[in-house]
Amino acid sequence: MTGAFPVISTFNVDKVQLGNFDFDQMIESLRDLFARDRQVASQPESTRCGLCYLHFPITELHYRDDGFYICPSCTRSLGDHRLSMLRKQQRFP
């Protein structure tokens, strides 16, 4: 017992088995998602979801009493749980 930290072994990437996960497909999917987000963000009647932070037309979002807009996907995920937001979003008429 010298108090020294144990030796850190090197990580061997060859030992990792990724199964059927396709990184190229994931990257392409993210590119499509961000391209859609930029296109929607350029529209005058859009704002961000307070949770996933992606842009949506105002008509697709729901304003919660917690003080933020939320998209349908995040609404399903969040359910009836309440969140404390550090900064509330401005509510549009």
Q: Which of 13-22, 43-52, 79-88 is least confident?
A: 13-22
pTM over 0.75: no
- Distance between CA atoms of 57 and 59, rounded to whole angstroms? 5
35 has a pLDDT exceeding 60 = yes
Q: What is the total residue count of the chain?
A: 93
Over residues 15-29, the pLDDT tens digits come to 555 567 788 889 999
Single-letter amino acid, residue 44:
P
Q: Which of 17-21, 56-60, 77-81 is least confident?
A: 17-21
- Distance between CA atoms of 69 and 53, rounded to whole angstroms? 10
Provide the pLDDT for residue 83: 76
